[in-house]
């Protein structure tokens, strides 16, 4: 089933080109999440065959990711707070929790957004608390772009170098995910250490 889906995406990317990558990454980054590797790894493989440009793949993926992230951000910004204040009590979400989240994103929104974009299962959703907390749009855009661009680069290069070997892709993707998570733990640790020293 997964192999058939991947093949369908390869065909779709080949037919639609960079527009297909843009649209699928916009969907992936909004409220209909699916694994971005099934888009960008095949695209990277096509680049290795001379059918596509790595630079254009990254730009298309980044553009789509930003559009999807902005959709979530603005929905949360314009509707999310009103809905949670009105109906949050039914889901054990109090207005005080929203205030705490807003204060947290005021202080740590940049690192949370960047690291969130690199964590599977979180990267599609991190825009929602950012919007609820009214995170500064320039900061949100910058750190969303950095995280989304880095992840797109990793997946595209993975497809470029070993796109024909599904077993190797699965192995390396797991190792890369572990490596990224370990790196994020180190980055967050350094960040909080610096913040603590500045506050002392």
Helix 95-116 vs helix 166-199: angle between axes, to the nearest 10 degrees? Answer: 120
Helix (H, G, I), strand (E, B) or coil at 80: helix
Residues 145 and 117: beta-carbon distance below 8 Å = no
pLDDT of residue 165: 59
Residues 134 and 102: beta-carbon distance below 8 Å = yes
For residues 184 and 145, give the distance between their C-alpha atoms in angstroms, rounded to a whole number: 16
Residues 60 and 39: beta-carbon distance below 8 Å = no
pLDDT of residue 94: 57
pLDDT of residue 96: 62
What lies within 8 Å, CB to CB, of 37 at 6+ separation is: 155, 158, 169, 173
For the chain, 200 residues long, give each residue's pLDDT as a single digit of tens: 545 655 666 676 667 889 988 988 888 887 666 677 778 888 888 888 888 899 999 999 999 999 999 988 988 888 766 666 555 554 445 556 666 666 777 777 777 788 878 777 777 778 888 888 888 899 899 989 998 998 899 889 888 887 665 555 556 566 666 665 666 566 666 665 666 666 65
**C-alpha distance from residue 105 to each of 30, 88, 127, 138, 181 (Å):** 20, 20, 11, 14, 21
101-105 LR contacts (CB < 8 Å, sep 24+): 101/129, 101/132, 101/133, 102/132, 102/133, 102/134, 104/133, 105/129, 105/130, 105/133, 105/134, 105/135
Residues 110 and 139: beta-carbon distance below 8 Å = yes
Helix (H, G, I), strand (E, B) or coil at 72: helix
pLDDT of residue 119: 76
pLDDT of residue 172: 56
């Amino acid at each position: 089933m997964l192999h058939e889906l991947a093949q369908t995406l390869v065909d779709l990317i080949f037919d639609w080109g960079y527009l297909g990558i843009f649209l699928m990454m916009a969907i992936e980054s909004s409220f209909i999440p699916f694994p971005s590797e099934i888009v960008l790894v095949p695209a990277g493989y096509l680049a290795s065959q001379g059918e596509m440009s790595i630079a254009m793949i990254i730009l298309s993926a980044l553009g789509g990711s930003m559009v999807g992230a902005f959709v979530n951000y603005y929905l949360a910004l314009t509707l999310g707070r009103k809905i949670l204040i009105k109906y949050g009590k039914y889901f054990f979400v109090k207005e005080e929790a929203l205030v705490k989240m807003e204060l947290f994103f005021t202080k740590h929104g940049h690192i949370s957004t960047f690291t969130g974009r690199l964590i599977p299962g979180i990267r599609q959703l991190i825009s929602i608390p950012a919007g609820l907390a009214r995170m500064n749009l320039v900061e949100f855009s910058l750190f969303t772009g950095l995280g989304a661009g880095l992840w797109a680069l990793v997946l595209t290069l993975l497809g470029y170098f070993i796109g024909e070997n599904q077993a190797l892709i699965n192995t390396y993707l797991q190792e890369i995910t572990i490596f990224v998570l370990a790196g994020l733990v180190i980055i967050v640790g350094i960040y909080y250490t610096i913040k603590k020293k500045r506050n002392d």
